[in-house]
Amino acid sequence: MPTTTSYWSQYVLSILRIVTAFLFAEHGAQKLLGALGGVNGHGATAHPGTLLWFAGLLELVGGLLLFLGLFTRVVSFILCGEMAVAYFRGHFPHSPWPILSHGELAALYCFVFLYLFAAGGGPVSLDRLIRRKA
């Protein structure tokens, strides 16, 4: 019989995944769709084929897949790598301290995605539903 804490921790894992995915997908919507102020707050979008456009694609599609809990481990692994690259290419050269280089969000996303890679999507996910039917 599972303890109450372990029972609820699995549902909190699903909540963490859903909230993180929603917030992360917003970054992709900014880059690809010009939503929520777009790139640099002026409604602009990233130019197709650029690194920023590709990052937006990963963020929007990956965020939506994570939101649904579909292919959670694979998507989380890819997004963890994206955020590691974003941190080390875009922030670390300015300062090794994330707060000074404005890289704390990239670092935090990186480690949340690493956790989701290890833990999976939780009980409220399409991955779990698919596994049950198999």
Report the number of distinct structural domains present in the chain. 1
Cut 0.85: pTM above it: yes
Which tokens sit at 33? 């769709």
pLDDT means over runs of 10, the chain (134 residues): 79 98 97 92 91 97 98 98 97 96 97 98 94 83
- In which domain, by residue range, is 124 found? 4-133
Strand, helix or coil at 40?
Answer: coil
Strand, helix or coil at 38?
Answer: coil
